[in-house]
Every structure is written in C-alpha cells, then in structure tokens.
Structure 1
Amino acid sequence: MSIKKAILIELEREKENTKRIISRLDDDKFSYKPHEKSMTMGQLANHIVELHNWVDYIINKEVFDFHTDYKPSTLTSVDELLEALENGFEKNKAIIEQMNENVVFENWTIKAGDHVMASMPKTGALRFIVTNHLVHHRGQLTVYMRLLDIPVPGVYGPSADDKA
C-alpha cells in the first residue's frame, strides 16, 4: 500500500466519524459551554472541522505560524460545518493524490511568532495535528453532547446511545 493510500484511508475514516458527530448537533446549542474556560460548542465544532483541513498547511508549507497563518473558522450552522468538512476532504484528497510521497519525510514546524511549538516530519505532523488533535477535541465535543442529552453516535464502535 502506498503512503498516499494509507493517508487517504485515515482522512476519510476520520471525516466520516466527525460527520456523524457534527450532524447530531443543533445550531441553537452553538453558544453552550460547560465551563467558563471552555470553548463554546460552536467554536469547538469549528475547530474540529478546520483541523481536518490542515492537510494543506502541513503538506504545502514548511512552517506554520499562528501569528500570521491562522484565522479561526466561524461557521454558524451544522449545515455549513458539514459542507466545509466535505469540501475540505475533497481538497485534502486532491492534495494527497498530487503530492510527491517523499514530501511526508520533510520537516514541518508549528510556531507562534518566535516560539517553536513543535518540529517534526510532515508524516508525524499529519498524525499529531490532523488526527490526534482533532480526535482529542472530538472527544470533548461528545462530552458536551452528553451534558446536553444529545445522543452520541458511535465512532470506533457502538456508543451507549447506539445500544439503547
């Protein structure tokens, strides 16, 4: 199996998992947050969708600087989030299909101004930023859903709500 194929399989599976979760949200709950230090549900859902679309930042850049390269997503509805997720996946798919596989071994750095947060091969950045980071936040979002009594879909197997 090629590196491209392996990356695409993972990106598609995680997109589908995110889609199942996002599709259960209600627009009128986007302002909910469980704690004053928490993001709102809308901010968290936006962040999860935008993390899927960091493939471009990782594959096509050597350095990502939060001070100059980051603009948070501010979509305001479930429909907009699902559309951004699907459109982003199609863009990601084109990027991966067109890339030279050797690019994943090149170094990538994420920083905030002069502060370097991490530096690693792009293959590691895809796992660390795109997959692990979004999985972490997607887990947070399912806690929000549970607190609001929104049925949580199964992601890597059935959820308690799937069994009910």
Structure 2
Amino acid sequence: MSMLAQTVLLDLDQEFAGTRRMFERLPEQHLEYTPHAKSWPLGKLAIHLLDPPLWGTVTCTTTTLAFDGPMPDKVQPTTAAEFLRIWDERVAQFKQTLAGMSDEALHVTWEATMSGHVVMSMPRFVVLRTVVMNHMIHHRAQLTMYYRMLDVPVPGLYGPSADEK
C-alpha cells in the first residue's frame, strides 16, 4: 500500500470506528425525530452518514462527478442492524479500493461539476480528507446532538463521553 494511502487510512480508521459506534446505538424508534423545523429527521441524517465511505470509493475510482447527473441509489435502512451492515460493506469496499491506489493516483485531480461548471477541483487525497472525512465528522456531530436530546447514550469518539465516565 502506498505511503499516502496508509496515512489516509490511519485517519479514516479512527473516524470510521467512531461513526460505527453511533450506528450501534441508533434509536430505531426515533428515526422521524426532528429537533428543529429546519433540521433533517434523525433517520435521514443517519442515512446521509452512510455515504462518506461510498463517496470515498467514488472519489478513488473516478476523476469527475456531475452533481446533477446520475447518482448511486439511496438506501433506506430502518434498523440499526441494516445501518451497520451497509456501513460495514461500504467501509470494506472503500478500504479495499484505497489500498490498491498509488501515491500518484491519490494526487490526481478530482473534479465535481454542476450544470457543466466545475464547483470543486482538488487532488483525490484532499477530497478524501475534506469531503469524505470532515463531512462525515460534521454530520456525526449533528447526530450526537440528536442522541443527547433523546437521552441516547453518546459513545466516546475521542475518549470517553459524559455517558461513559
């Protein structure tokens, strides 16, 4: 495995494990819960949180994506077990794909377009860091607030949480 792929995986492994712990505690009975009128329901947010490893694979296997073009089919899990199965499959596929990439391939410019205009253009490894990992962390943090409001124990993500002390 290339040195850059190893570095990316070291970062992502910890974050993927934390996100998996969130799915393990998914409150199935509250998938329609919305903390605010402008917020997504918990289930929709959790489904969106399944996407980062899928987008990691897309980033590694393409050089461009049209946001207004065909997209992967959306999954509709309704149980924690289904979320975990999809998560584990997507993480495994992404890690396998990333493991086969060279440093040169990770430096290739990846672009996203909308209506034919480039809206994002950066090396693949930067897309993996920002759009995949940071985006996942952002939405996982939102989900921790939903859990807190519903009295679902929040797992420790960078050490023990208040629920684990």
Q: TM-score with structure 1 length normalisation? A: 0.92
Percent of counterpart pairs with the same letter? 34
Hey, what does 1:37 align to over in structure 2?
38
Q: Distance in 1 between the 2:53 and 2:14 partners?
A: 11
Q: Distance in 2 between the 1:93 and 1:56 partners?
A: 8
Hey, what does 1:51 align to over in structure 2?
52
| Counterpart among 110, 119, 122 of residue 124 in structure 2 | 122
Query: Aligned with 1:161: secondary structure?
Result: coil
Hey, what does 2:15 align to over in structure 1?
14
Hey, what does 2:88 align to over in structure 1?
86
CA contact (8 A) 1:63 1:111 kept: yes
Letter of the structure 1 residue corresponding to residue 120 of structure 2: A
User: Compared with structure 1, are the counterparts of its residues 117 and 72 closer, same or farther at alpha carbon in structure 2 (3 Å cutoff)?
Assistant: farther
| Counterpart among 120, 133, 145 of residue 135 in structure 2 | 133
Residue-by-residue CA offset, 1:19-66 (whole Å, 9 max, x unaligned): 111111121111111112211111111111111221111111111222
| More divergent stretch after superposition (121-130 vs 75-84) | 75-84
Hey, what does 2:110 align to over in structure 1?
108
Query: Aligned with 1:136: secondary structure?
Result: helix
Aligned pair count reads 163
Query: Aligned with 2:111: secondary structure?
Result: strand
Unaligned runs of 5+ in 1: none
Hey, what does 1:25 align to over in structure 2?
26
Hey, what does 1:161 align to over in structure 2?
163
CA contact (8 A) 2:67 2:114 kept: yes
| More divergent stretch after superposition (69-78 vs 153-162) | 69-78
Hey, what does 2:154 align to over in structure 1?
152
| Counterpart among 94, 97, 100 of residue 99 in structure 2 | 97
User: Compared with structure 1, are the counterparts of its residues 39 and 21 closer, same or farther at alpha carbon in structure 2 (3 Å cutoff)?
Assistant: same
CA contact (8 A) 1:44 1:141 kept: yes
Query: Aligned with 1:75: secondary structure?
Result: coil
Where relative contact order (Cα < 8 A, 6+ residues apart) is larger, the structure is 2
Hey, what does 2:63 align to over in structure 1?
62
